[in-house]
Structure 1
């Protein structure tokens, strides 16, 4: 049983590390997307809002590219926020009740209780990590789509500037 508890202790530390990794990744991603939103806002204001002047089919295509970029980036930002959402990081029971229980029972019951605590907490950590990874994966995918639309916007804007 001691080896099992030692193994579970290592897995618990590993899962806590993964949880911290996802928290840090979410924060960094949210910062990066916020910078992209600021850049898009600045771009929208250039040349008296020329992106919003839909005077021809080509200008409409430019506007649609900008709108698609903005929507993708906004969705990415929302999913990054969702992933960063503050939630309890599952931890091992550390209450007085648990400590008193461990004092009151024999060594085998102590080990069994500690075993169950580790198993339950590791399972809760895995669920919390999965809950963070899904919206973070969506946020990344949406940012990739946004980058594609932004590239299209840059190409179309360059063509418009070169032909006018």
Structure 2
């Protein structure tokens, strides 16, 4: 049983490190998306808002592309914020009642209780990590779509400038 508990302790440390990794990744991703939003805002004001003049088919296509890119990036920011949402990191029981129980029971019951604590907490920790990973994956996919749309916008801008 001691080997099993040592194994569970190692897995618990790994899962806690994974939880911290996701928290840090969420924070960095949110910062990066915020910087992209600032850049997109700067692009909107480029040449006195020429992007919002829809007098030609190319200009109309540019406007639609910009709106779609802005929408994708805004959704990405929202999903990154959702992933960063402060949740309790599941931890092992540490109450006085638990400590007194462990003090008063036989070694076999003590080992079984510790085993159950690790297994239960690991399950909660894995669930918490999964809850963070889903919106972060959505945020990344939306940012990629937004970047592709910005690239298309850049190509359309280049075409418009060369045609003028």
Q: TM-score range by the shorter chain?
A: over 0.9
Matched residue, 1:159: 159
Structure 2 distance, partners of 1:50, 1:113, is 68
Structure 1 distance, partners of 2:120, 2:51, is 54
Task: Give 4+ residue runs of structure 1 displaced > 4 Å after superposition.
Answer: none
Matched residue, 1:18: 18
Matched residue, 1:117: 117
Instruction: Report how far residue 104 of structure 1 moved.
Output: 1.1
Structure 2 distance, partners of 1:58, 1:163, is 10
Structure 1 distance, partners of 2:51, 2:76, is 22
Matched residue, 2:147: 147
Matched residue, 1:28: 28
2:107 matched to 1:90?
A: no
TM-score (normalised: structure 1): 0.99
Instruction: Report how far residue 47 of structure 1 moved.
Output: 1.2
Structure 1 distance, partners of 2:51, 2:101, is 68
Matched residue, 1:79: 79
Matched residue, 1:128: 128
Structure 1 distance, partners of 2:111, 2:123, is 18
Q: String of CA shifts for 1:74-97, please: whole Å, max 9, x gaps.
A: 000000000000000000000101
Matched residue, 1:47: 47
Superposed CA RMSD in Å reads 0.5
Count of residues in Structure 1 that have an aligned counterpart in Structure 2? 164
TM-score (normalised: structure 2): 0.99
Structure 1 distance, partners of 2:44, 2:57, is 19
Structure 1 distance, partners of 2:46, 2:157, is 12
Matched residue, 1:70: 70
Q: String of CA shifts for 1:119-145, please: whole Å, max 9, x gaps.
A: 000000000000000000000000110
Instruction: Report how far residue 149 of structure 1 moved.
Output: 0.4
Structure 1 unpaired stretches of 5+: none
Instruction: Report how far residue 21 of structure 1 moved.
Output: 0.6
Structure 2 distance, partners of 1:148, 1:40, is 13
